[in-house]
Structure 1
Amino acid sequence: MIIPMLMRVIHMFESYLINALLAGICVSLIGGALGCFVVWKKMAYFGDSLSHSSLLGIALGIALGINTTIGTFLVCLLFASLLIFLQDKKILSNDTLLGILAHSSLSIGIVSISLLNKKVNLDSYLFGDILTVTPSELIWFFFATLFVLIILYVIWDKLVLVTIDESIAKAERINTSFIQLVFLFLLIIFVATCVKIVGILLITSMLIIPAASARQISSSPLQMGFVSSLIGVLSIILGLFSSVKLDTPTGPTIIVMLVIIFAIIFPLSKKINQT
């Protein structure tokens, strides 16, 4: 009687760990590739602002009774559209606009969630809750990852050229505005999916740190994209099992693993370059 019960508990434990691991790998694959362009374009602050706005999307999803991922996606899309519109008007500098929009949406999101007559675990949205990934959410992660990777494969060369020199890209008759909008759309998908993994406050880390680490040991944009994704996957594996072993918050533990990997790679790359 006791043994079958223990076996069921072990099976449940393994199932939720597997779901968490697969979801984390999905997000790492697209985060690593997209993060390269965020680093090259120096868009870290934009990524941070976009992730902050996602809390308002979560509040919207809870209020309307829809999937919070859909709510996050819609609000991030609105946030990006509003930012582009205001940038064209040149009312304020980009940094000022990002700061105002990011912190206002974050604050409104927190206030909105607190006003809802529903019990909401705010920490799970701020710092992630990867261990509670459901099979249906895992399916969403899989298809979102597949979609982003296919689009990136199609536009990779054009996106690299637009990132390196937009004037050359225009001379090559590349629709630079369209390519940048597609990239922005993919970035929004990443933010919407990553909230569950590491939380709103740490999403940008999944973009920046793997790419910054990969940059030290890569010799081409494509290689950097692959290495960045692999570093992200490694951090998910190490962070997930370390958090279970040490009983620490999973999202922050994953980021700690990323920082450790960067701390190992950075000095080693400097020594290799000097020899």
Structure 2
Amino acid sequence: MFHYSFMQNAFMISILISILCPCIGFFLVLRRYSMIGDTLSHASLAGVAIGLLYNGNPIISSFIFTSICGVLIEFLRDYFKKYAELILAIVLSLSVGIAITIMSSGKLHANVNSFIFGSVLTVTREDLYAVLVLGIISITTLIFLYNKLVIIVFDEEAAKIAGVNVKLINYIFSILVAATISVSMRIVGVLVLSSMIALPVATAMQLGKGFKATFLYSVLFSVIDILLSLFISYYMNCAPGGITALISVILLALVICVKKCLLRLNR
């Protein structure tokens, strides 16, 4: 199947996003912000619609619009401190409203379904380059901010006392989330993108390992999810997004079952 250029592109993109998604998702889950990933993944659809409307690169336009939504979420946190869930509803309503308005206007002359459900057939070399650039920038930034992010995860107030510019880090991290979503939606799809951000991390947490070990296991489970879904979707001739979500849930269920069986045996 690797004789086809689109499968080569899809495979390279899949490897990149299987590393990037859990790296971002790890910090989102630990901070109880996993629903932000879901909100921004739906917001990315508006960015895609805007890009296609003006004949631009949908990945770049998605990154720009999703970054704006991520920054908006952080900005509104100061105004809705006691009702944080309202922020997600506001951003979700704005982005979905824009997406539906553009998509239903009849002015789009491109297939949006490949972004909604994920597709390996529509992955181009241009997409690969855009994903590669955004992915490298995101991973490099994440490595640079790793220690500060760890401190913020455990105690945001203590991080402020220690001199960490928490607000700036949060804004940068929101942009990293936007970049991760933008590079992943072509393969995984908008509707199930949050599964790649949260479920590998949830699976790794069941192992009860330390901080760094859980981080590495989440990447491992993510690679398994993505690659299995890529191969299965190719031979089943279906969208990889749905397969990815199913494999993520099945793998999580298997780990939980094995964990419970081992606990009973030890007893």
2:197 corresponds to which residue?
207
SS in 2 for 1:132: coil
Give CA deviations for 1:153-209 in whole Å, capped at 9, x if unaligned: 221121011111112222322222222222111111001111111111111111010
Answer yes or no: is the 8 Å Cα contact 1:73–1:189 preserved in 2.
Answer: yes
Question: Hey, what's the Cα distance between the residues in 2 that align with 1:264 and 1:86?
Answer: 39
Give the deviation of 1:40 after TM superposition.
Answer: 0.6
How many residues are paired up? 265
Q: State the alpha-carbon separation in 1 of the partners of residues 227 and 134 from structure 2.
A: 20
1:211-254 Cα deviation digits (max 9, x unpaired): 10011125222222211111111111111111122222211112
**Identity of matched residues, %:** 28
Structure-2 separation of matches of 1:25 and 1:188 = 18
> Does the Cα contact within 8 Å between 1:55 and 1:110 map onto a contact in 2?
no
The corresponding residue for 1:53 is 43
CA distance 1:158–1:254, shift in 2 (3 Å): same
What is the match of residue 69 of structure 2?
Answer: 79
Separation (CA, whole Å) in 1 of partners of 2:2 and 2:233? 19
Which residue pairs with 1:17 in the alignment? 7
Indicate the structure with greater helix content.
1
1:247 is aligned, of 237, 255, 259, to: 237
Paired amino acid for 1:25:
I
> How many Å separate the matches in 1 of 2:23 and 2:263?
24
Q: Distance in 2 between matches of 1:168 and 1:86?
A: 22
Which runs of no fewer than 5 residues in structure 1 stay unpaired? Answer: 1-9
Indicate whether 1:175 and 2:175 are aligned: no
After superposition, the CA RMSD in angstroms is 2.0
Among candidates 235, 252, 256, match of residue 246 of structure 2: 256
Q: Tell me, what secondary structure is at the counterpart of 2:110?
A: coil
For residues 157-172 of structure 1, what are the structure 2 equivalents within 5 Å? 157-172=147-162
- The residue type paired with residue 156 of structure 1 is Y
Q: Deviations over 1:65-119 (max 9, x none)?
A: 2111121112112212333333323398221231232034213202212214333
2:25–2:201 CA contact under 8 A, matched in 1: yes
For 1:220 and 1:154, the matched residues in 2 are separated by 21
Q: Which runs of 5+ in 2 are unaligned?
A: none
Q: In terms of mean alpha carbon deviation, does 86-95 or 40-49 score higher?
A: 86-95
Q: Equivalent residue for 1:41?
A: 31
AA aligned opposite 2:86: T
CA contact (8 A) 1:199 1:251 kept: yes
SS of alignment partner, residue 164 of structure 2: coil
Q: Distance in 2 between matches of 1:96 and 1:217?
A: 33
Q: 25-34 or 145-154, which moves further after superposition? A: 145-154
TM-score by length of 1: 0.88
Larger Rg: 1
Matched, 1:32 2:10: no
AA matched with 2:228:
L
